[in-house]
Chain A
Amino acid sequence: MIRPLIAAAVLTGWARPLPAQISRLDARLQPNTAHDVRALVDSARAAGLPEEPLVLKALEGQSKGASGDRIVVAVRALLQSLRTAQTSLGLQASPEELVAGSAALRAGAPETALASVRHDRGGSVAITLSVLADLVGSGIPVGTATKAILTLVHQNVSDREFLQLRTRVEQDIRTGMAPGSALERRLAGIPAAGPPRQP
C-alpha cells in the first residue's frame, strides 16, 4: 500500500528533492539561488525530466563565479531544452536520450531533426544525438551535421560507427583539416550497414 503512494507522490512531483541534491545546492549556492534552482528541479521531476543535469548546471555556474541570477537563467534554459527534447523524442525517452537531445538542441539542431532521428532509428538515440551535438561543437555547421546524421540514420549505421565517425572527424580537425571537409571525408568511409530504413 505504501509503495503505490510513494510512486504516485514521485510521479506527481509532490515528493521533496533528494537529500543529496539539497545538500549540494545549499552548500554551494546562495540561499535565494538555491531556492530558485530547487523550484526548477521540482518542475523537472514533475515533468518526468532528469534532475541531475540541472543541479550540475547550477554547480557549474557557481564554480565559474557566475551570479545567482545568471545561474538561475542557465538552469531554466537547460530545463526548457530538456522539455523541448522530450516533446520531440516522446514521453518514453530515457534520461540519456533527453540529455543528448538537449545538447543537440542547444548546439543548434532543429527540433525536427530530433523527431526524425527518433522516428527513423530503432533503439536508443542517445549516441546519435550526442554525436550530432559533438559534431556541431567541433565546428561543423549545424545544417551540415544534421543532414549527415540523418543520412547515416537512414543507412542504419551502428552506434559504434557513429562514435568512430566523431572520433575520426576530431582527429582530422586536430591535424588542421577544416571541420566540414573532415566530416565529408569520414562520411565517405562509412559503408551502409543495412538496407535504408523506411520512414
Chain B
Amino acid sequence: MHDTAQEKLDPRLESAIGLLREPVDFGPGVDQRVLQRIAADRAAPPRNWFAFGWIGGLALAAAVGYFVLVRDGSGPTARSHRPSGGEEVVFTLTAATAARVSVVGDFNNWDPKVTPLKAAPTGGRWIVTVKLLPGRYRFAFLVDGHTWLADPDHPAGGDPDFQSPTSVITVEGHSL
C-alpha cells in the first residue's frame, strides 16, 4: 500500500519533465549535417589517440612492472660491474717512493711494458684497471723495473720456479 501524498511529484521535477516533452526544432537538414559531421570526424586525425596511447603505455608499463618486479618477488637488484665476456679488475699498490709500477702476469704475457699503473695524486697509491676473461692468473707487481712484489690482497702464487713473489687472481666464469 502506497501513500498518495508520496506519489505526488516534486514541482521542479514536473517542470523538467514538461520541458523534455516539448518538441525540439533542429532546423531543416539536420540529418545531412549529422552525417557530414560523422564523415569529417572519421577523416580527421585521431586527436585523442595520442593521449590514450600515452596513458595506455603507462598502464601497460605498470602492468609489466608489476609482473616483473612484484609477482616475481625479486625487485631491482644492484649488480657488480661485470662486462660481458670478462670482469674489470682493479689492481692497486701502495709504493710511496716508487717512480714507476706495472702489473705483470699471465694476462699480459709477463710483459712489464703492457700494463703500467698510474700514480694517485696523494698517498703513494698506484692503480690500474684491467679487463680479464674468466680464468686463473698468476701475476706480480714490478716496481721501478727491478723489484717484484706480491699483491697483498690476493693469495700467494706459491711458485718457487724463479724465487720471486707472485700472486693469483681467479676471475669467475662459466668455464671455470
Q: Measuring CB to CB, which residues of chain A are less than 8 angstroms from any residue of chain B?
A: 24, 53, 56-57, 59-64, 66, 70, 73-74, 77-78, 94, 96, 99-100, 103, 106-107, 124, 126-127, 130, 133-139, 163, 166, 170, 174
Contacts and interface: CB of A to CB of B under 8 A. Distances in A.
A135 B159 CA distance: 14
B176 A63 contact: no
Contacts of A70: 161-162
Contact of A77 (B153, B161, B168): B161
B57 interface: no
Contacts, number: 82
B127 interface: no
B158 A107 contact: yes
Nearest to A53: B106
B129 interface: no
25 contacts: A53-B106, A56-B110, A56-B138, A59-B109, A61-B162, A64-B162, A66-B161, A70-B162, A73-B161, A96-B176, A99-B136, A106-B158, A124-B175, A126-B175, A126-B176, A127-B170, A127-B176, A130-B136, A130-B176, A133-B168, A134-B155, A134-B168, A135-B155, A136-B158, A137-B157
B158 A170 contact: no
Contact of B110 (A59, A100, A133): A59
Nearest to B111: A63
Nearest to A75: B161
A166 B155 contact: yes
Q: Across chains A and B, which 7 residue pairs bring their CB atoms closest together, nearest first? A: A74-B161, A137-B155, A134-B155, A63-B110, A137-B158, A137-B156, A59-B110
B152 interface: yes
Contacts of A170: 153-155
Interface of B: 104, 106, 109-112, 135-136, 138, 148, 152-159, 161-162, 164, 168, 170, 172, 175-176
Given A24-B109, A64-B162, A170-B155, 7 more contacts: A62-B110, A66-B162, A73-B161, A134-B170, A137-B168, A170-B153, A170-B154
Interface centre among A59, A130, A137 (most CB of B within 10 A): A137
B162 A106 contact: no
B110 A60 contact: yes
Nearest to A94: B175
B80 to A, nearest CB: 13
A67 to B, nearest CB: 10
